[in-house]
Structure 1
Amino acid sequence: MSHQLILKNCHVLDPGQGIDRRADIGISDGRVAAVEDSIAEVHGAQVLDVGGDGRYVVPGLIDLHAHVARGGTTPGVGMGCCDPDDIGIRSGVTTVLDAGSVGIANAGVFPAYILPGARTRVLFYLNVGTFAHSTKNPADVRGLDDIDAEGIASCVESNPGVVSGMKLRLVGPFVAKAGEQVIDAAKEAARRAALPLMVHIGDLFAAQDPGVDKRMLAVTEYLIGQLEAGDILTHLCTPSVGGVGRSGGQLDPLLKAARDRGVILDSALGMGNFGYQVAREQYERGLVPDTISSDLTLGGQAFHSLMECMAKFMAIGYSLADVVRMTTVNAAAAAGLADTAGALAVGRTADITILDVTEGDFRFTDTRKEAFSGRYGITPVQTVRAGELIAPRWGTHPWGWLPESAATSAGARPS
């Protein structure tokens, strides 16, 4: 078979297919055409040798929770959103899911501007709050009227194929007062549209008060019972009020039962929803996320990347195969792409990530500014999106992609 692109000497790591071995990959017409021990070079084919210590070829990474509604929110007013290609193909990620950056008031930015302009595959979850992140108010839902059921239904119907799911954030005073009603209204809107619901837990701005904490945990407990197969609970490892980690493990049986019925447990680290101690304690108890996602906003681009999120979980004790599984096959299933993405299967679109795993002494921080260390950093080398090779951008840090090193912590520039 004639190939347009051949990746030679790959260490292929594809947990979804149980592949962890050396192989060549042939790509034709934007699709994976062969994964074989050796593929002969042919005239006219582009050939890339990707051999090397610590270098891996994995299915295209999928970021299940990010914010890429660039142009849909106003600088200085709403939440800053990323360019999808900056945190996508130029960061080693082939698919990003926008997790509710906008509601029905400005959802039109996706079909008119973002989806046609992005080379990265972009999925869009509609925020059930009409104005979502487009105002300065940190709460998307300040009353039940903010969930416009008729408007949501019309948005989904009038934009066929655009909305892949819905998003609810359990934050703010009204949620603390009437969280169960808010959950019911959001779930009803999602059922009506036959779409999955992603729900954010953890209120970073809530008062640190035992009564508020107890009340928000009760709302979270109610939520877990309402989630159905295909729904996503996001920010599993948040240390904030309402986070499951604040229950001391008491909600673990409910979470595991939810997973058994098909609910996805997503980590979505972001700048405000990852606690190292929470994640480590969950790991030790056997409560592990199904997926790793970045929750990247414009401000977060200088803080981390999806690959750095993966490295943070390796610092906890997860293996490379674990974190690749959570950002490929698991994320594809959660995003409704189980048959089209997440694996280097012959015939599928050639979405591939080439990455380096570097061993060293790296420093990370969590939401509470707690520092912790890890042995591995992960960096993008090349992205293949639909058969096209794309080089990465410079990186999230002034020195590039690698996390901060011990040398940097001491004031020296990393080599």
Structure 2
Amino acid sequence: MPYDLLIKGGHVLDPGQAIDRRMDIAISDGAIAAIQPEISASEASRVLEVRGSNRYVVPGLIDVHTHVAYGATTPGVGIGCVDPDVGGVGSAVTTVLDAGSVGIANVGVFGAHLLPKAKTRVICYVNVGTFAHTTPAAADVMHMEDIDRKAIASCIRANPGLIRGFKLRLVGPVVQERGEDVVRLSKEIANEHGVPLMVHIGDGRHPDRARAGELTRFLLKTLTAGDILTHLCTPNPGGVMDAREAAQSVVPELEEARANGVLIDSALGRGNFGIEVARRQAELGVRPDTTSSDLTAGGRRLGVGLLDSMAKFMSVGYSLSDVVRMTTLNAARGIGLGDQLGAVAVGREADLSIFDVVEGKWKFTDTLNQVFTGTQALVPVQTIRKGELFSPEWGPYAWGWLPEQA
């Protein structure tokens, strides 16, 4: 048999390559070996029939903002992280990026435990704050001393290849007082080690809105190509909606940053998605490059996940092709892996996501507890990671994957 696995009869949707039709995909030795309208089942050792109404096969989905440092943070003390494979291959996602769940004090959990065990591809961005989400503190950086430049350099030397970027959350009292200094230092450290900086905007602790907006505009002028701004649609102080104007436009620095090569990510989660913000941005033609989940243990219990984020943007008016592009091609390019991920192509590692689009009237809730509805929800069917098949976990709700009906 020439092929190990044949994915047969699926509607392949790959916006980056303008593929939107039924195709068969053959896999050998963990890589895509053939993509054709028809491949005989007799040519494969194993066949997965995926033909179905509103069922799609897409490049392996990439979630560029998750919290998967499972075991390094303590529920009830710091942020609750999930197992990488719960938010990954168990949710039709093949690659997850941990967005600063831990600082250098705890990042060793990735090399010692998470990376060797995870079936999902895991990329680690370490928090600039030494202890990050592992303490009960309200912010990752409570004092300038929490960013230990020397210790960070020592950690990177001792763990080559582990840390692929840095994460800063632009929240908390020290940011209000010395925000420009925090941004400058974080950016200097990222530059020093030749990796990107991801920055969270939007402070749910309700600081001075004018000051928070001022810091976000400074940040946007500081970030450079390869960096990531996350939480585009936050309704919290420090978001990109211009607090200086009643017309609710976005700050001009946003599109300047995008033009400079900064990735604009939405990262919905529990705390940074406002449906009215998303709708207004859509009216203005302001779109995120990527959408991601900001997945946490607490968030998952409320339905948070990458497929949920995609469905929420579809409720705003984005097409299925739009959200697939955001979570495949755009995400791969945004994290510097566009030559490896984000496409269904011969020779590429066989990372594929299969899901159903389910029509209905579905209820969603944003950060401000505003309920809104959508007509489409996404449900995982199967994940192929490096040629290996994975069935979905039980969904985040007691009844499974679909949101509550409106």
The TM-score normalised by the length of structure 1 is 0.95
Q: For 1:300, what is the secondary structure of its paired residue?
A: helix
Deviation at 1:301, TM superposition (A): 1.1
**In structure 2, what is the equivalent of residue 413 of structure 1?**
none
Query: Is 1:254 matched up with 2:253?
Result: yes
Q: For 2:336, what is the secondary structure of its paired residue?
A: coil
Deviation at 1:95, TM superposition (A): 0.4
Deviation at 1:43, TM superposition (A): 5.7
**Partners of 2:268 and 2:292 within 8 A in 1:** yes
2:224 corresponds to which of 228, 246, 254: 228
**In structure 2, what is the equivalent of residue 294 of structure 1?**
293
1:41-190 pair list within 5 angstroms? 41-42=41-42, 45-190=45-190
1:108-149: CA deviation from partner (whole Å, max 9, x where unpaired): 111111111111000000100011001111211122111111
Q: Which amino acid aligns with 1:401?
A: W
Q: Which amino acid aligns with 2:90?
A: R
**Partners of 2:85 and 2:118 within 8 A in 1:** yes
Deviation at 1:206, TM superposition (A): 2.5
Deviation at 1:79, TM superposition (A): 1.0
Q: Which amino acid aligns with 1:28?
A: S
Counterpart Cα distance in 2 of 1:381 and 1:345: 21
Deviation at 1:44, TM superposition (A): 5.4
**Partners of 1:57 and 1:354 within 8 A in 2:** yes
2:239 corresponds to which of 227, 243, 248: 243
1:139-172: CA deviation from partner (whole Å, max 9, x where unpaired): 1112211111111111112111111100000000
**Partners of 2:25 and 2:35 within 8 A in 1:** yes
**In structure 2, what is the equivalent of residue 333 of structure 1?**
333
1:214 corresponds to which of 207, 210, 213: 210
1:75-112: CA deviation from partner (whole Å, max 9, x where unpaired): 32111100000110011000000000000111111111
Q: For 1:223, what is the secondary structure of its paired residue?
A: helix
Q: For 1:140, what is the secondary structure of its paired residue?
A: coil
1:333–1:43 CA distance, 2 compared to 1 (3 A): closer
Identity of matched residues, %: 58
**Partners of 2:6 and 2:44 within 8 A in 1:** no
Deviation at 1:305, TM superposition (A): 1.6
The TM-score normalised by the length of structure 2 is 0.97
Q: Which amino acid aligns with 2:378?
A: I
Counterpart Cα distance in 2 of 1:102 and 1:305: 20
Q: Which amino acid aligns with 1:125?
A: Y
**Partners of 2:73 and 2:79 within 8 A in 1:** yes
Counterpart Cα distance in 1 of 2:44 and 2:327: 33
Q: Which amino acid aligns with 1:279?
A: A
**In structure 2, what is the equivalent of residue 400 of structure 1?**
400
1:245-290: CA deviation from partner (whole Å, max 9, x where unpaired): 2535554432112111110000000100000000110011011000
**In structure 2, what is the equivalent of residue 32 of structure 1?**
32
Deviation at 1:291, TM superposition (A): 0.4
**Partners of 1:252 and 1:287 within 8 A in 2:** no
| Unaligned 5+ runs, structure 1 | 407-415
Q: Which amino acid aligns with 2:73?
A: T
Q: Which amino acid aligns with 1:267?
A: S
**Partners of 1:90 and 1:392 within 8 A in 2:** yes
Counterpart Cα distance in 2 of 1:75 and 1:278: 31
Counterpart Cα distance in 2 of 1:284 and 1:20: 27
Aligned residues: 402
1:2-30: CA deviation from partner (whole Å, max 9, x where unpaired): 11100111100001111111110000101
**Partners of 2:103 and 2:129 within 8 A in 1:** yes
**Partners of 2:69 and 2:109 within 8 A in 1:** yes
Q: Which amino acid aligns with 1:218?
A: E
Deviation at 1:66, TM superposition (A): 0.3
Query: Is 1:265 matched up with 2:264?
Result: yes
Deviation at 1:242, TM superposition (A): 0.8
Counterpart Cα distance in 1 of 2:266 and 2:17: 23
1:97–1:366 CA distance, 2 compared to 1 (3 A): same
Q: Which amino acid aligns with 1:56?
A: Y
Counterpart Cα distance in 1 of 2:23 and 2:94: 21
**Partners of 1:69 and 1:109 within 8 A in 2:** yes
Counterpart Cα distance in 1 of 2:313 and 2:74: 33
Q: Which amino acid aligns with 2:84?
A: P
Q: For 2:206, what is the secondary structure of its paired residue?
A: coil
Deviation at 1:73, TM superposition (A): 1.2
Counterpart Cα distance in 1 of 2:8 and 2:26: 9
Q: Which amino acid aligns with 1:183?
A: V
**Partners of 1:77 and 1:134 within 8 A in 2:** yes
More off after superposition, 33-42 vs 280-289: 33-42
1:159-201: CA deviation from partner (whole Å, max 9, x where unpaired): 1111110000000011011100000000000000000000000
**Partners of 1:359 and 1:375 within 8 A in 2:** yes
**Partners of 1:65 and 1:268 within 8 A in 2:** yes
**In structure 2, what is the equivalent of residue 411 of structure 1?**
none
Q: For 1:164, what is the secondary structure of its paired residue?
A: strand
Q: Which amino acid aligns with 1:323?
A: V
1:244–1:222 CA distance, 2 compared to 1 (3 A): same
Deviation at 1:234, TM superposition (A): 0.2
Counterpart Cα distance in 2 of 1:348 and 1:219: 41
